[in-house]
Amino acid sequence: MKKLKEIKISGISLPLYAFFMIVLAVTIGLGKLPLNMVGITLLLVLLGHLLYFIGEKLPIMNSYLGGGSVFTLLGATLLSFFPYHSCKCD
């Protein structure tokens, strides 16, 4: 557990970040995420920091392709391109 607390994603320890992600996943799953600035900002910040953290840890991405910033853009593009959710959009 001590080793998990040493891992930090944008200055937040991993257990606390995981708690935030679980709360976000539950609210999305229940359909209770508010579609105003607060809800969407929480979603974008948590996913953006996670993608940046992963991009900084991947050796090829970090050394040759620009690191976390490029991986964040790539991840956001892939999330919008592939149908990963069941949207009831009209």
Distances (CA, A) of 82 to 1, 59, 60: 35, 25, 23
* Nearest-angstrom CA–CA distance, 6 and 56: 16
Residue 51: inside a domain, yes or no? yes
Confidence (pLDDT) at 71 = 82
Residue 68: inside a domain, yes or no? yes
User: Which range of residues forms the domain containing residue 32?
Assistant: 2-81
- Please say whether the beta carbons of 20 and 46 come within 8 A: yes
Enter the pTM of the model: 0.75
Residue 88: inside a domain, yes or no? no
Number of domains in the chain: 1
> How does pLDDT run across 3-53, given as a tens digit for each residue?
877 888 888 888 888 998 899 888 888 888 887 788 888 888 888 888 888
Distances (CA, A) of 14 to 11, 33, 34, 45, 50: 9, 23, 25, 15, 11
